[in-house]
């Protein structure tokens, strides 16, 4: 028995103690959560999938549920070739590498997935991280050091902010998707200073895309390097699925593209691709790459197979656009307020009046047999509560009709629409 098992449970600091409860900073959040759950609401952040039937259907709380809140945009998680590659690698190389990429953690599979990425993006270099979060953490903190500047969209993903926090550069935020604000910020910085502008192709909360064509031009005129996180566009947007930078014709001017395997690729992992001739040195100096174990062989094998199949994913991309347009038009016609006037990506965000009604609507949809993501501040911009719908290329047109029927029923039951 461990000695800690003999100690009384320490719920309160002992009397007279001056110990500060470090949890007290979460009191407001604990109270909001308790208030919400005391109404009998199912915990929107505690859903368990008991069985996953396909990329678009799971069993939750014993019932068949259509999945409209995953990032499985291209539906690769059940692709037979992807699964076969993973099983083979598991048999041949074991369950894990137990080491860093720079020590014992580079197998042929890690090189093969980096080759697949270089081919997919037609770029010279690719570096695979254990998650997309770590890719942003690593590249941003390593590239922008003391005396450099990071200029970033205020609605950037948490991993971008955390990458900034890990480094020592000065942070200069600008208003979301505002080209003039970006240009003004850049002009105020010392011309000789190192500058890294960090943008996203698709912003995942509202599903809107960045005006990369104009922004990249502004960055280049100011002598800044540009990093674009294409986490939510890879596989889907652009002629070859390379993302918004490809779709807007500026991919050759982007210095770093960050991406993830946890969305269109259908597994887990992250990466950075680049044409910079000195890129490979990052393998020795990027701490979130060096000081962590590499991805398991089965994961890199599934990723490599998936990425190579995504190169020929035009039919899936076309169908996903059809789904996105159909859902957007249908929700708008029902009277919901959406994050964008037109569908811009595979994410359609439904704006809720407040957290209470957002949570009620989320639960009503779940009872109808539909799972969407409930998103709330601080993850969302401007304090919004959102029901984020992310479509999959494997959703059939009939499923989208079914989804619209569920939104109509839940919307009327909760008073979100008339
Ligand atoms: C824009 C963006 N970048 C990076 C990530 C991190 O990706 P990963 O799930 O691979 O850590 C996410 C995940 O949601 C994201 O939305």
The CA distances from residue 394 to 87, 128, 311, 328, in Å, are 23, 27, 17, 17
Measured in Å, residue 261 CA sits from the centre of ligand 1 at: 9
Q: Which atom of ligand 1 is nearest to the CA of 159?
A: 4
10 within a domain of the structure (yes/no): no
pLDDT of residue 243: 98
Question: For a substitution probing ligand 1, which of 133, 243, 381 has the most ligand atoms within 8 Å of its CB?
Answer: 133
Cα angle 280, 281, 282 (rounded to 5 degrees) comes to 85
pLDDT of residue 1: 35
Task: Select which of 204, 262, 294, 298 is catalytic.
Answer: 204
Same domain, 251 and 153: yes
Same domain, 267 and 392: no
Nearest-angstrom CA–CA distance, 358 and 350: 9
pLDDT of residue 382: 86
Same domain, 246 and 348: no
Same domain, 157 and 57: no
Q: Which atom of ligand 1 is nearest to the CA of 156?
A: 1
Nearest residue (CA) to ligand 1, atom 3: 231
Same domain, 295 and 333: no
328 is catalytic: no
Per residue in 119-164, pLDDT tens? Answer: 999 999 999 999 999 999 999 999 999 999 999 999 999 999 999 9
Cα angle 227, 230, 236 (rounded to 5 degrees) comes to 150
Measured in Å, residue 330 CA sits from the centre of ligand 1 at: 28
SS in 3 state form for the chain?
CCHHHHCCCCCCCCCCCCCCCHHHHHHHHHHHHHHHHHCCCCCCCCCCEEEEEECCEEEECCEEEEECECCCCCCHHHCHHHHHHHHHHHHHHCCCCCCECCCCCCCHHHHHHHHHHHHHHCCCEEEEECCHHHHHHHHHHHHCCCCCEEEEECCCCHHHHHHHHHCCCEEEEECCCCHHHHHHHHHHCCCCCCEEEEEECEECCCCEECCHHHHHHHHHHCCCEEEEECCCCCCCCCCCCCCHHHHCCCHHHCCEEEEECCCCCCCCCEEEEECCCCHHHHHHHCHHHHCCECCCHHHHHHHHHHHHHHCCCHHHHHHHHHHHHHHHHHHHHHCCCECCCCCCCCEEEEEECCHHHHHHHHHHHHHHCEECEEECCCCCHHHCEEEEEECCCCCCHHHHHHHHHHHHHHHHHHCCCC
Pick the last residue of a domain from 266, 288, 310. Answer: 310
CB-based contact 249:211 (threshold 8 Å): no
263 is catalytic: yes
Number of domains in the chain: 2
Pick the last residue of a domain from 288, 310, 332. Answer: 310
Nearest-angstrom CA–CA distance, 297 and 68: 29
354 within a domain of the structure (yes/no): yes
pLDDT of residue 8: 45
Measured in Å, residue 175 CA sits from the centre of ligand 1 at: 21
Q: Which residues contact 284 (CB under 8 A, 6 or more apart)?
A: 102, 290
Task: Select which of 195, 240, 263, 328 is catalytic.
Answer: 263
pLDDT of residue 309: 98
90 within a domain of the structure (yes/no): yes
Measured in Å, residue 260 CA sits from the centre of ligand 1 at: 6
Same domain, 346 and 380: yes
Measured in Å, residue 41 CA sits from the centre of ligand 1 at: 28
247: domain CATH number? 3.40.640.10
Query: Do the strands 149-153 and 170-174 form a parallel or antiparallel pair, or are they unpaired?
Result: parallel
Nearest to 269 by CA among 298, 291, 312, 241: 298
Q: Which atom of ligand 1 is nearest to the CA of 203?
A: 1
pLDDT of residue 11: 55
Global pTM reads 0.94
Question: For a substitution probing ligand 1, which of 73, 131, 140, 157 has the most ligand atoms within 8 Å of its CB?
Answer: 157
Nearest-angstrom CA–CA distance, 257 and 228: 5
Task: Select which of 125, 157, 195, 232 is catalytic.
Answer: 232
Residue 150 forms beta bridges with which residues?
171, 196
Residues of the chain with pLDDT under 70: 1-16
Nearest-angstrom CA–CA distance, 91 and 109: 13
407: domain CATH number? 3.90.1150.10
pLDDT of residue 6: 40
Question: For a substitution probing ligand 1, which of 260, 269, 288, 386 has the most ligand atoms within 8 Å of its CB?
Answer: 260
Per residue in 222-248, pLDDT tens? Answer: 999 999 999 999 999 999 999 999 999
Measured in Å, residue 334 CA sits from the centre of ligand 1 at: 31
Pick the last residue of a domain from 310, 325, 360. Answer: 310
Measured in Å, residue 133 CA sits from the centre of ligand 1 at: 5
For ligand 1, residues with CB inside 6 Å are 131-133, 136, 157, 159, 200, 204, 229, 231, 260, 262, 270
pLDDT of residue 41: 81
Q: Which domain holds residue 57?
A: 41-74+314-413
Q: Which atom of ligand 1 is nearest to the CA of 157?
A: 1
């Amino acid at each position: 028995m461990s000695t800690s098992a003999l100690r009384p449970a320490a719920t309160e600091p002992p009397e007279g103690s001056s110990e500060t409860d470090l949890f007290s900073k979460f009191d407001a959040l604990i109270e909001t959560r308790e208030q919400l759950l005391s109404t009998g609401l199912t915990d929107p952040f505690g859903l368990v999938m008991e069985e996953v039937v396909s990329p678009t259907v799971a069993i939750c709380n014993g019932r068949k549920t259509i999945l409209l809140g995953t990032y499985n945009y291209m539906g690769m998680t059940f692709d037979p070739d992807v699964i076969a590659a993973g099983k083979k690698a598991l048999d041949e190389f074991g369950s894990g590498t137990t080491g860093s990429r720079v020590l014992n953690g580079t197998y042929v599979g890690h090189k093969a997935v980096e080759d697949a990425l270089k081919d997919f993006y037609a770029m010279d270099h690719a570096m695979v991280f254990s998650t997309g979060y770590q890719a942003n953490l690593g590249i941003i903190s390593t590239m922008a050091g003391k005396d450099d500047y990071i200029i970033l969209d205020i609605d950037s993903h948490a991993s971008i902010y955390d990458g900034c926090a890990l480094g020592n550069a000065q942070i200069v935020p600008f208003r979301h998707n505002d080209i003039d604000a970006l240009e003004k910020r850049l002009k105020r910085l010392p011309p000789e200073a190192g500058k890294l502008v960090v943008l996203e192709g698709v912003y995942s909360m509202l599903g809107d895309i960045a005006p990369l064509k104009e922004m990249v031009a502004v960055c280049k005129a100011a002598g800044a390097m540009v990093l674009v996180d294409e986490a939510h566009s890879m596989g889907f947007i652009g002629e070859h699925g390379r993302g918004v930078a490809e779709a807007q014709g500026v991919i050759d001017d982007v210095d770093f593209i960050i991406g993830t395997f946890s969305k269109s690729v259908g597994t887990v992992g992250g990466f950075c691709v680049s044409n910079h001739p000195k890129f490979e040195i990052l393998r020795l100096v990027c701490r979130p790459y060096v000081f962590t174990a590499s991805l398991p062989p089965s994961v890199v094998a599934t990723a490599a197979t998936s990425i190579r199949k995504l190169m020929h994913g035009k039919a899936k991309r076309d169908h996903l656009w059809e789904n996105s347009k159909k859902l957007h038009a249908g929700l708008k016609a029902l009277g919901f307020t959406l994050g964008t006037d037109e569908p811009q990506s595979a994410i359609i965000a439904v704006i809720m009046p407040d957290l209470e009604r957002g949570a009620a609507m989320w639960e009503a949809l779940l009872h109808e047999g539909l799972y969407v993501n409930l998103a709330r501040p601080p993850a969302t911009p401007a304090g919004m509560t959102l029901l984020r719908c992310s479509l999959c290329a494997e959703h059939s047109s009939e499923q989208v009709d079914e989804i619209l029927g569920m939104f109509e029923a839940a919307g009327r039951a909760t008073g979100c629409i008339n």
